[in-house]
Amino acid sequence: MKKRFLTVLTVATLAIAFTSCKDKAKEAETTEAEVAAETTDVSTKYKVDTERSTIMWTGHKPTGSHNGTIALDSGVVTLNNDTLESGTFLIDMNSITVKDIPAEEEDNAKLTGHLKSPDFFHVEQFPVSAFEVTGMETVEGKTMLSGNLKMKDAVNNIKIPVTVDQNGDALTITSETFTIDRSKWNVQYGSKSFFDNLGDKFINDEIELQINITATKA
């Protein structure tokens, strides 16, 4: 009986581990900043509809996770022969919200304030982040969008898988869920990349993001 129990436990553990690995979002390829893509005379300009666009985030730690949204402040993107040619998106860091804690609870305001503080994104000093398109290519059947992500006092180029759809005067850009390593943008609180002896009090460096952008022809 004991041997059978251990066998079942081992199988269950392996199944959980396999599921966790399978479901984990892939980290965006991150490199040094690149030259931004230029707009040509034949491209079509689209203006981001900020009311219908959002960035969803999830942060993990040993005891669980939190999630929420960030809004776009503004954005312009150009399309050339059904290909995303250039674009700039400004991200309103003051718009950070927490969704997994009821808005009326004190912990919601506490966590939101902490995320906006110098410990994390320091929104008083850095109220806007930005993403500037540097290129788009097809890799192994997936459309990969690359761009310079400026957050706080750092800029890195990231490459993420997206789907781009054009329907009349509307354009949508939807990313797969991906992660970025926050330490590369100097977001230090609870990070093992900056602090030793955190034990199980650390917060994962990887932040999951999923982007949904809707734009209309300008």
Any domain includes 135: yes
Any domain includes 6: no
Any domain includes 192: yes
Any domain includes 179: yes
Any domain includes 133: yes
Any domain includes 11: no
Helices (H), 117-158: none
Round to whole Å and give the CA distance between 112 and 182.
17
CATH number at 128 reads 2.40.128.110
**Residue 212: which domain range?**
26-217
Any domain includes 10: no
Round to whole Å and give the CA distance between 2 and 202.
36
Burial of 80 (0-12, 13-18, 19+ CB in 10 A): middle
pLDDT in tens, the chain (218 residues): 444 433 433 333 333 333 334 467 899 999 999 999 998 888 999 999 999 999 999 999 999 999 999 999 999 999 998 889 999 999 999 999 999 999 999 999 999 999 999 999 999 999 999 999 999 999 999 999 999 999 999 999 999 999 999 999 999 999 999 999 999 999 999 999 999 999 999 999 999 999 999 999 99
Any domain includes 213: yes
Helices (H), 27-151: 106-116
Q: How many domains does the chain have?
A: 1
In the 8-state DSSP scheme, what is residue 117? S
Strand partners, 178: 26, 209
Round to whole Å and give the CA distance between 192 and 117.
19
Task: Return the residue matching tokens 């850009």.
Answer: 173
Residue 164: partners with Cβ closer than 8 Å, 6 or more residues away: 82, 84, 143, 171, 172, 173
